[in-house]
């Protein structure tokens, strides 16, 4: 089976979900000109790959600051830290890079102190050489 049409459909489905993450499969199917069952199957596949639909307000409108963090960690710690960050409600996305020794994420905080507490106290205690480079 040629997987390129499915990859294109997955991309189109993700784009449609970005516009309306709560759209029923029937509406998505009509918009993408495929069956509702195909949409349901592709959606479930994306969920198994880690797709998570969340609503994200504009941080500044709520008095929040979005921090883009880049953390360098030992390979054995990066996955644990990424998982911990991904479970936090103030984290909008996390990605691993550089062969699993670096992760990037977006965190919304009210103050620099909240951001520092996250980095210095709330992340799991793991054997890590973790350095951060936050940018607002």
132 pLDDT more than 70: no
Average pLDDT over residues 91-95: 89
60 pLDDT more than 90: no
pLDDT bracket for residue 32 (50, 70, 90)? very high
Average pLDDT over residues 5-15: 86
What's the pTM value of the predicted model, to 2 decimals?
0.54
What is the overall mean pLDDT for the chain?
83
Q: Residue by residue, what is the 3-state secondary structure of the chain?
A: CCCHHHHHHHHHHHHHHHHCCCCCHHHHHHHHCCCHHHHHHHHHHHHHCCCCCCCCCCHHHHCCEEEEEEEECCHHHHHHHHHHHHHCCCEEEEEEEHHHCEEEEEEEECCHHHHHHHHHHHCCCCCCCCEECCEC
55 vs 60: which has the higher pLDDT = 60
């Amino acid at each position: 089976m040629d997987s390129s049409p499915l990859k294109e459909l997955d991309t189109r489905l993700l784009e449609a979900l970005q516009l309306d993450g709560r759209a029923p499969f029937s509406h998505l199917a009509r918009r993408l000109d495929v069956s509702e069952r195909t949409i349901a199957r592709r959606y479930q596949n994306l969920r198994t790959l880690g797709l998570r639909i969340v609503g994200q307000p504009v941080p500044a409108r709520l008095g929040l600051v979005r921090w883009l963090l880049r953390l360098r960690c030992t390979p054995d710690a990066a996955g644990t830290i990424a998982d911990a960050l991904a479970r936090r409600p103030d984290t909008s996305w996390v990605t691993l890079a550089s062969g699993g020794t670096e992760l990037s994420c977006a965190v919304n905080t009210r103050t620099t102190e909240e951001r520092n507490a996250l980095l210095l106290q709330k992340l799991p205690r793991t054997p890590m050489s973790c350095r951060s480079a936050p940018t607002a």
